[in-house]
Amino acid sequence: MILQIFAVIFLLILIYFSFMFYKRKEYSIKDFIFWLLVWIIAIFLVSFPETVYGVMESLQIQRTVDFFVIAGFMFLTVVIFFLYTKIRKLEYKIEIVVRKIALKK
Amino acid sequence: MKKIFIIIPAYNEEKNISTVIKHTLKYSKNIIVVDDGSEDKTFERAKAMKVMAVKHVANLGKGAALKTGAELALREHADILVFIDADKQHEPKEIPFFLERLYEADVIFGSRRRTKKMPLRFRFGNSILTHLTKFLFGVKLHDTQSGYRAMTSEAYKKIRWRSMDYSVETEMIANVGKKRLKYDEIFIKTIYDDKHKGTTPFHGLKIALDMLWWRLRG
């Protein structure tokens, strides 16, 4: 129960940050809605863990905490993969821009 | 008469750049200095030497600087590109040896001898990367990490690299192997003024992983 309360508070803080980024115009409305949905789904799952019992059973995971840790790691892996790809693309674009400026002068 | 361009990538080399240019000018008037976003007066010093100098508005890395220099040389209709470091590690007087050998090959690699003068971590890392290069790309060299190289502009067009950092030296070799270009190596003299410069073990690991990726990419 304490762990659940802690997780919900943590997720509420993340909602606040997402809202703040949106207000500062660092996030578009699309970004904000995406992250808001992610955090709301996480709050729902943490508050009502019985909703994942079916999935846990089919995956033969005994403890709810284990399920959330595994799910968390998978989510982080996906995020890191996308971030990596995005950074590489940005690096490549920056390289082209910097070279164009250098050769234009 | 072939048009020879000497490309010098430089980052915060205000102390050395003028000397390197001065000694290099003896071998070609076509010198391109690519200042990779230095915070010191590297660019101004190069300009003062009346050579072609361009500056990256941000620091991108050695690979990107070399590519900028090579692209500029191609625009100037270069036939031969020579790459030399800006930190006085390489002797410009060895440029004629590269040019001489370039009649029989597309790319000439400068190789440092793995003597005791070479810092231990370089010797160890270099040995691993050299073996890996031979195994993965069939290119047999004594040193894969030296930046002293020469190639024809036709060869450059075939091996254009994507690496922006220190991986560039290895990617060049990988591309030479994959494109089956004719290559040769000559032993060069190297001066190690700053032992903290150059490829770190972390860079070495990254280069090794990059090599596997280039092999898989085909």
- Residues B178-205 have a mean pLDDT of 79
- Confidence label for B149 from pLDDT (cuts 50, 70 and 90): very high
- Residues A33-50 have a mean pLDDT of 93
Would you call B178 an interface residue with chain A, using a CB distance cutoff of 8 Å? no
CB contact under 8 A, B57 and A91: no
Lowest mean pLDDT among A56-60, B62-66, B196-200, B204-208: B196-200
Per-chain mean pLDDT for chain A: 92
Q: In this predicted structure, what is the pLDDT of residue B194? A: 59
CB contact under 8 A, B68 and A105: no
Per-chain mean pLDDT for chain B: 90
Q: In this predicted structure, what is the pLDDT of residue B203? A: 80
Between residues B172 and B121, which one has the greater pLDDT?
B172
Give contacts of B 39-68 with A, CB under 8 A.
54-58, 60, 64, 67-68
Report the SS3 class of residue A83.
Answer: helix
- Confidence label for B197 from pLDDT (cuts 50, 70 and 90): low
For residues A99 and B35, is the Cβ–Cβ distance under 8 A?
no
* pLDDT tens-place string over residues A54-92: 889 898 988 888 999 999 999 999 999 999 999 989 999
Residue of A90, A91, A99 for testing the chain B interface, max B β-carbons within 10 Å: A99
Residues of B in contact with A94 (CB under 8 A): 58, 60
Residues of B in contact with A95 (CB under 8 A): 60, 64, 164
- Confidence label for B207 from pLDDT (cuts 50, 70 and 90): confident
Q: Is the pLDDT of residue A12 over 90?
A: yes
Q: Calculate the CA A22 to chain-centre distance.
A: 15
CB contact under 8 A, B54 and A105: yes
Q: Is the pLDDT of residue A23 over 70?
A: yes
CB contact under 8 A, B57 and A103: no
Q: In this predicted structure, what is the pLDDT of residue B193? A: 63
Q: In this predicted structure, what is the pLDDT of residue B213? A: 86
Would you call B186 an interface residue with chain A, using a CB distance cutoff of 8 Å? no
Q: Is the pLDDT of residue B195 over 60?
A: no
